[in-house]
Amino acid sequence: MTEPRHESMPISTPAQASESPPVSFTPDAADKKRPVQPQQTPGEPPLAALSIRGLAKRFGEKIAVDGVSLEVPAGSFYGMVGPNGAGKTTTLSMATGLLRPDFGTALVHGVDVWAQPLAAKKLMGVLPDGVRLFDRLTGEQLVTYSGLLRGMDRDVVATRVSELLAALDLEADAGSLVVDYSAGMTKKIALASALIHAPRLLVLDEPFESVDPVSAANIRGILESYVASGGTVIVSSHVMDLVQRMCSHVAVVAGGRVLAAGSVDEVRNGSTLEERFVQLVGGGHRTEGLEWLRTF
């Protein structure tokens, strides 16, 4: 029997004291009163927003993640790219406390995700891939519930919910059940749930998948201003052009290992990211054996 892909819902972090009133999706507004702050010695380099050290996961005979280590600098827009089955979702699930690693650790702003899960999850907003939402709630109820679970003041939640629904073009469907949403609408409502508490770190697994171009541009705008305000975003994506344009840093993952990581310019090294990706990952066009497809 394969083990469940995730161990808990993404928004299960228990509530803490309510946030301060100013409505903002930037990370600093919600941070000021946070009791959990990373320990940093003066003079030392800033703590990474996410530090992944030797994460590994095996499913039966399959080694999905084979000792992945990554440093995601605070304030970066970090892309994770890799072919299908590379281990991106498994790595991000372990790094965000959704899937227990066999080996390795993950620290969010210096807080160990598995040793101090509540403290670490307060610092994060997560858009997981393939995790079921409470889809018998309406979109508005789901995002409200996410905010209240985090202990936020009801009025602050109400204001943020309406701003998020407007920003993500979901106002007209706010009263519809999430189970009736399209794939792209579901992605957007899950993103709103991840943003509601203005976390310091956003981990978004394929946030643009199924999302229409106008909504994708809106989401990009929200994320870019979030990063400009000091937040950190990690996105996994298959769209190299988007990652090259949007991200400051990138990691190329294949076969459960990191093949290259650093600033986008370092990794692409004069080529386009797509060309570099194909060089690193290998492959190419294989059409042998498909002759029958041209015989209709």
Ligand X SMILES: Nc1ncnc2c1ncn2[C@@H]1O[C@H](COP(=O)(O)OP(=O)(O)OP(=O)(O)O)[C@@H](O)[C@H]1O
- CA dihedral (65, 69, 75, 78) positive or negative: negative
Q: What interhelical angle do 183-195 and 154-167 show, nearest 10?
A: 140
Residue 5 interacts with ligand X (CB under 6 A)? yes
Pick from 55, 2, 283, 24: nearest CA to 164? 24
> Near ligand X by CB under 6 A, which window of 28-36, 37-45, 86-94, 264-272?
86-94
**Identity at 25, one-letter amino acid code:** F
Q: Is 6 in the site for ligand X (CB under 6 A)?
A: no
Selected binder of ligand X within 14, 21, 22, 85 (CB under 6 A): 85
Using rule CB under 6 A, residue 203 touches ligand X: no
Partnered with residue 117 across adjacent β-strands are none
State in angstroms the smallest separation of the CB of 219 from ligand X.
Answer: 19
Restricted to residues 36-75, the positions that interact with ligand X (CB under 6 A) are 59, 62, 64
What b/e sequence results for 16-50 when a residue is b if at least 16 CB atoms lie within 10 Å of its CB, and e otherwise? Answer: bebbeeeebbbbebbbeeeebebeeeeeeeebbbb
Q: How far is the CB of 273 from ligand X (least distance, A)?
A: 16
Q: With respect to ligand X, which residue has the nearer C-beta, 156 or 239?
A: 239
The residue among 181, 131, 170, 167 whose CA lies nearest residue 12 is 131
End-to-end CA distance of the chain: 41
Give the chain's radius of gyration (CA, Å): 19
Q: Is 82 in the site for ligand X (CB under 6 A)?
A: yes
Taking CB under 6 A as the binding criterion, the range among 27-35, 88-96, 100-108, 215-223 that sits at the site for ligand X is 88-96
Query: Quick one: which segment of 12-20, 77-85, 133-141, 156-164 binds ligand X (CB under 6 A)?
Result: 77-85
Of 89, 138, 186, 244, which lies in the binding site for ligand X, with binding defined by CB under 6 A? 89
> DSSP secondary-structure letter at 42?
T
In this structure, are residues 118 and 131 in contact, taking their beta carbons and an 8 Å threshold?
no
Q: Which one among 27, 78, 88, 191 touches ligand X, defined by CB under 6 A?
A: 88
Is the CB of 86 or the CB of 247 nearer to ligand X? 86
Q: Which residues bind ligand X (CB under 6 A)?
A: 2, 5, 59, 62, 64, 82, 84-90
